[in-house]
């Protein structure tokens, strides 16, 4: 998520805390529809900002949230999103790349840490480092869960998993158990399965991390 998107999201969070419960409920319903639209995260936050201002203006007049948006949430969202600029082909490709690299970056970071520990404990075996049963099985379970989540997200919402993940706390929480399973398996099921070239694998893992971080920082 780019710097300007994070800044606008923080501002929106500060503003929506001042809304009445009725306006907050209305904003929540609108946000759920906006989060799955095939537009950039910055545009999503811009729309939310405009909606918050509309609700604030309605509150100042003593009007209801329904008066502010016309009463039909679906029709309101459809009209707003129809005016938004859809993601370009290049942006869709970058989001798709990030959807692939981001889930891989967490196991990569964990494995880099493990390689460093193994190097300090068994320096005589370097540059060969073992792939343990726990890491192999843990990565398999974790990546399977994330791949299913990415496919379901794209099938059901026609949007990027990255955008849905950033916009929904529930989605982020659903991945925590799978990440914990991976960590526990890597820690306690340490029987070596095979050996790999340490420098080459670490270089590839660092590449995944760097590209993922760059995309996270630049994509709106």
pLDDT tens-digit profile, the chain (220 residues):
678 888 898 898 898 888 899 999 889 889 888 877 888 888 888 999 999 999 999 899 888 888 888 878 888 988 998 888 888 888 888 887 887 787 777 777 777 776 676 666 665 666 777 777 887 887 787 777 777 777 777 677 666 677 666 666 666 677 777 777 777 777 778 777 877 777 787 888 888 888 888 888 887 6
Res 46: pLDDT: 92
> What pLDDT sits at residue 50?
93
Helical spans, DSSP H, in 17-72: 21-35, 41-61, 65-69
- Which residue has 């480092």 as its token pair? 129
Q: Which residues pair with 194 in a beta bridge?
A: 131
Q: What angle in degrees, to the nearest 10, is found between the helix axes of 21-35 and 41-61?
A: 160
**What pTM was estimated for this model as a whole?**
0.65
In three-state secondary structure terms, 86 is coil
- Output the pLDDT for position 57: 92
Could you tell me if 107 and 182 are in contact, meaning their C-beta atoms sit under 8 angstroms apart?
yes
- Stated as kind and residue range, the H or E segment containing 209 is helix 198-218
In this predicted structure, what is the pLDDT of residue 123? 59
Q: What is the pLDDT of residue 1?
A: 67
Which of helix, strand or coil describes residue 26? Answer: helix
- Please state, in angstroms and rounded to a whole number, the distance separating the CA atoms of residues 84 and 95: 18
């Amino acid at each position: 998520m780019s710097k300007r998107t994070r800044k606008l999201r923080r501002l929106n969070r500060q503003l929506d805390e001042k809304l009445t419960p009725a306006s907050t409920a209305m904003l929540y319903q609108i946000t759920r529809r906006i989060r799955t639209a095939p537009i950039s995260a910055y545009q999503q936050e811009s729309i939310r900002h405009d909606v918050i201002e509309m609700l604030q203006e309605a509150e100042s007049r003593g009007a209801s949230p329904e008066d502010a948006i016309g009463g039909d949430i679906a029709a309101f969202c459809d009209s707003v999103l129809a005016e938004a600029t859809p993601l370009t082909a290049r942006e869709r490709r970058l989001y798709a790349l990030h959807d692939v690299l981001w889930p891989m970056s967490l196991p990569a970071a964990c494995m880099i840490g493990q390689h460093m520990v193994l190097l300090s404990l068994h320096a005589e075996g370097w540059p060969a480092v073992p792939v343990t049963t726990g890491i192999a099985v843990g990565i398999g379970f974790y990546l399977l869960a994330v791949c299913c989540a990415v496919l379901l997200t794209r099938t059901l919402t026609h949007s990027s998993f990255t955008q849905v993940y950033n916009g929904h706390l529930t989605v982020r929480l659903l991945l925590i158990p799978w990440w914990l399973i991976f960590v526990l398996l890597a820690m306690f099921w340490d029987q070596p399965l095979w050996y790999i070239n340490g420098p080459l694998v670490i270089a590839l893992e660092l590449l995944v991390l760097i590209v993922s971080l760059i995309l996270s920082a630049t994509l709106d």
